[in-house]
Amino acid sequence: MKKKTRRNHDASFKTRVVLEVIKALKTFAELGSEFNVHPNQIRNWKNEFLEKASVVFSENKDDKEELKRYGRAEIFNTDQGSQYTSEDFTGILGSFE
């Protein structure tokens, strides 16, 4: 049996997928089928995007250096972040287009 090769997606593809998620017009499963990516992978990309989004607007280069040095923050109690997937929160994000 031949081992599957791992697919690597470029940043522009990931960004396109995450922007579709933020619009909240389709579910993770629908987007997974559309882009041929597992829904859990899409969810991971979205979480990473939202965690690093504030760095874009940061004028402090130290923040960017710290992000490179230490990486993104880990959330141990993942149920505490469930408010960020609610319709209210994602609707607000979608209104900024």
* Residue pLDDT, tens place only, 6-21: 888 888 899 999 999 9
4 domain residue, yes or no: no
61 domain residue, yes or no: yes
DSSP 97: -
What is the domain extent for residue 22? 11-94
16 domain residue, yes or no: yes
Split into its structural domains, the chain has a count of 1
51 domain residue, yes or no: yes
How far from 39 is each of 42, 67, 86, 87, CA to CA, in Å? 5, 26, 17, 18
76 domain residue, yes or no: yes
**97 or 50, greater pLDDT:** 50
6 domain residue, yes or no: no
pLDDT, residue 55, reads 74
pLDDT exceeds cutoff 90 at 90? no
pTM (global) more than 0.75: no
Mapped onto helix, strand or coil, the DSSP state of residue 81 is helix
Under the banding of pLDDT at 50, 70 and 90, the label for residue 69 is confident
3 domain residue, yes or no: no
50 domain residue, yes or no: yes
